[in-house]
Amino acid sequence: MTTQTHAGGTTQRRAALVGTGLIGGSVGLALRSLGWHVTGTDEDATVLARAVEVGAVDATGVDPDAELTVVATPVSTVAQLARQALERGGVVTDVGSVKAPVVADVAHPRFVGGHPMAGSEALGIDGARADLFSGATWAITPDDHTDPAALSLVHGAVRSMGAEVVTLDPLQHDRLVATVSHVPHLTAAALMGVAERRSAEHPALKRLAAGGFRDMTRIAAGDPRIWIDICNDNSEAICEVLDGLVESLSELRSIVEQGDSGELLERLEVAQVARRNLPAGAPDPEHLVEVRVEVTDRPGELASITTLATEADINVYDIEVVHAAGAAAATLILVVAERDAGALSSALELSGRRPGVQPLGEA
Amino acid sequence: MTTQTHAGGTTQRRAALVGTGLIGGSVGLALRSLGWHVTGTDEDATVLARAVEVGAVDATGVDPDAELTVVATPVSTVAQLARQALERGGVVTDVGSVKAPVVADVAHPRFVGGHPMAGSEALGIDGARADLFSGATWAITPDDHTDPAALSLVHGAVRSMGAEVVTLDPLQHDRLVATVSHVPHLTAAALMGVAERRSAEHPALKRLAAGGFRDMTRIAAGDPRIWIDICNDNSEAICEVLDGLVESLSELRSIVEQGDSGELLERLEVAQVARRNLPAGAPDPEHLVEVRVEVTDRPGELASITTLATEADINVYDIEVVHAAGAAAATLILVVAERDAGALSSALELSGRRPGVQPLGEA
């Protein structure tokens, strides 16, 4: 079979799941609700049976005709399972929390790394929901090897499940999630550990733990095993961010010890403003336009353009690659908010391309 | 006037608020709903007018007949305002986040330090609710100077507003809240600061910040100004806990760098178990009994017994002091869960007292 950017008329689109836990099961429910045919496998027969029961898959087993396979297993197993799926054909993506080692390991034009930022607590298949990704951010991490049609297919499937796509270089992704996910998790565990030791001296401590402390340690209640893989695979970025946090806490300690109220207020105000500016979920619906640009249809071309959009903080709502019959070049269509179109065009022009902007859906 | 343990028959109980913001206003709403007459003052006339509008006070101004004054102002102003209230008479308590400096500064038998663990975000009077303290923990911090009747009155008023009382030595309180509140707040600000710097390099960072990061930094969005007083007044305990946290994070860094999965798993599992054992709000209703013990009616006696209960992790639901006519001794009644009565009796016996246990409400 060949990959395809769009569903072919009346033919039902087919996806395969490798792993049918919380994330795999939710992908199955979401794609089935969109009309896809979904098959699934899981090394745990009980989990797979439950996936059938909750309607996350149409059938069990592998599907040689699947145009998209989603590997939703622990990070350490992804590369091997992705290679097996690639041998069967179609486009393959994964949902792991660390991307650079997996993308480098698989190194295949039809493999596009992915990472939905949702459902990190290990609830399993019973927590699966068709709307788990609605409004969530879903990172996808193409690289120089990525086939444009594969990237476009994954981008479209992710968007259709209601997620906001952020396209990132795999290494950049790993550095950013070290900051917003991995180190915060280790910090929650450290705070809980410090409190636990103090609690052994004075049991009333836990009764004093109000909402703020509960919020800050909530993620420490999740399954620790998934963090072993993550810390192994992303150790360099995690250590770098931990260094920054330890330095920042040590500075705060000096400021508190010296009673430097001015400096303390300044730091707390910076954090206050930053926290208040943190976007709350999906942005408002916006007036969308198309930015069109001619590209050579070679691996990496599309990845470099979409990561360029991400670097300019531009949300790409949809990607389409249109081939003129017999031509080596193709037209790339990026759907973005109207207010971002100018910035994206400028960035594309700076990279030597000649973009055009037009209303959505015109020929 | 004299302090009294119980409301006198048909006489309406009278309370005074100094400061009618979120906490003061909520105390007013709660006490008024329990039938108290509440007066209030606030240095901000607009806030005071709003307190009248929302029904948090019956009248504005001071009340020389108030049996209880609640000082609900920033920590740095509490001692002076508490002394003024003590001159007018009655029992005085406060709601500040740091207790040892204030209690030592006021040093009066009719002053009982207090700290409701609720509503830390600076919402002001418009966030005030009669049920703000329902199920919340409210620390009270008597010391060797505290009049037993004053402690009993504050304990009863706090309980009547639906809060769980934890009686603690003032210094012990400050050490514990450094662990569960002050250092977590500084940590949230540090995490947000680290993310903000990284975000300047890569704007996509904020779009990757999912629920866990949002939970961990939420408290950093609050008003920073209240933390200046807190860090000044509790700097020693805060620095000690920060040292422990920095050490713990540095150890985690080494573990991640060395790829020591066994040690990492162990630490994360300790945190997981501890977080899962964190009590979620108020405990279930329990079968309550009275533990009765003869005490000399001298300052500090009651404080030492109630903090002894807290150290044994026993929740005291109610305190009553019953005086036999003309006697120097009194009977102290501690209302506790039946399952805790044996442990409390043993602790009291070890301290040389002769407690008795009986069903609730018997003579």
- Which residues in chain A touch residue B277, judged by CB atoms under 8 angstroms apart? 206
Contact B117 A220 (CB under 8 A): no
Instruction: Report if pTM > 0.80.
Output: no
Contact at 8 Å (CB) between A20 and A72? yes
H/E stretch holding B27: helix B22-33
- Which residues in chain A touch residue B222, judged by CB atoms under 8 angstroms apart? 272
The token duo for B225 is 């100004």
- Which residues in chain B touch residue A315, judged by CB atoms under 8 angstroms apart? 207
Contact B208 A139 (CB under 8 A): yes
B106 vs chain A: nearest CA distance in angstroms?
23
B95 vs chain A: nearest CA distance in angstroms?
14
- Which residues in chain B touch residue A267, judged by CB atoms under 8 angstroms apart? 189, 193
Contact B249 A248 (CB under 8 A): no
Residue from the list B136, B221, B267 with its beta carbon closest to the beta carbon of A272: B221
For B249, which residue in chain A has the nearest alpha carbon? A190
Report pLDDT digits (tens) over A243-296: 999 999 999 999 999 999 999 999 999 999 998 888 765 444 457 788 888 887
For CA atoms A221, A226, A227, A228, give the dihedral sign. positive
Residue with tokens 């300690």: A253
For A165, which residue in chain B has the nearest alpha carbon? B207
Quick one: which of A187, A245, A180 has its CA closest to B199?
A: A180
Report pLDDT digits (tens) over B219-243: 888 778 888 989 999 999 999 999 9
Cβ-based contacts under 8 A for chains A and B: 314
Which of B23, B140, B248, B273 is best to mutate for the A interface (most A CBs within 10 A)?
B248
**Residue type present at position B4:** Q
Contact A231 B120 (CB under 8 A): no
- Which residues in chain B touch residue A260, judged by CB atoms under 8 angstroms apart? none
Contact at 8 Å (CB) between A220 and A195? no
Axis crossing angle, helix B261-276 with helix B235-258, rounded to the nearest 10: 140
- What are the residue ranges in chain B where pLDDT is below 50? 1-8, 282-285, 362-363
Core vs surface per residue B235-254: b (16+ CB within 10 A) or e: bebbbebbebbbebbeebbe
**Residue type present at position B8:** G
Q: Report angle CA A173, A176, A177 to the nearest 5 degrees.
A: 85
For CA atoms B261, B264, B268, B273, give the dihedral sign. positive
Contact B212 A227 (CB under 8 A): no
Q: Which residues neighbour A253 within 8 Å (Cβ) at sequence distance 6 or greater?
A: B239, B242, B243, B246
- What are the residue ranges in chain A where pLDDT is below 70? 1-10, 119-123, 280-286, 297, 323-328, 360-363
Q: How many CA atoms lie within 13 A of B65 on its CB side?
A: 7
- Which own/partner contact pairs does A52-55 have at CB distance under 8 Å and 24+ positions apart? A54/A25, A54/A29, A54/A125, A54/A126, A54/A128, A55/A29
Residue with tokens 């603690």: B168
Which of A230, A253, A276 is best to mutate for the B interface (most B CBs within 10 A)?
A253
Residue from the list A177, A220, A313 with its beta carbon closest to the beta carbon of B272: A220
Contact B227 A193 (CB under 8 A): no
Q: Report angle CA A50, A51, A55 to the nearest 5 degrees.
A: 115
For B136, which residue in chain A has the nearest alpha carbon? A210
Q: Mind listing the domains of chain B with CATH numbers?
A: 14-168 (3.40.50.720), 174-276 (1.10.3660.10), 288-359 (3.30.70.260)
- Which residues in chain B touch residue A219, judged by CB atoms under 8 angstroms apart? 212, 215-216
- Which residues in chain A touch residue B269, judged by CB atoms under 8 angstroms apart? 224
Contact at 8 Å (CB) between B293 and B355? yes
Task: Look at residue A2 in the predicted model and tell me its pLDDT.
Answer: 40
H/E stretch holding A14: strand A14-18
- Which residues in chain B touch residue A198, judged by CB atoms under 8 angstroms apart? 175-176, 179, 241
Q: Which residues pair with B14 in a beta bridge?
A: B37
Axis crossing angle, helix A183-201 with helix B261-276, rounded to the nearest 10: 60
Which of B137, B141, B186 is best to mutate for the A interface (most A CBs within 10 A)?
B186
Contact B139 A208 (CB under 8 A): yes
H/E stretch holding A137: strand A137-141
Contact A231 B256 (CB under 8 A): yes
Q: A123: buried, middle or exposed (CB in 10 Å: 19+, 13-18, 0-12)?
A: middle
Task: Look at residue B4 in the predicted model and tell me its pLDDT.
Answer: 42
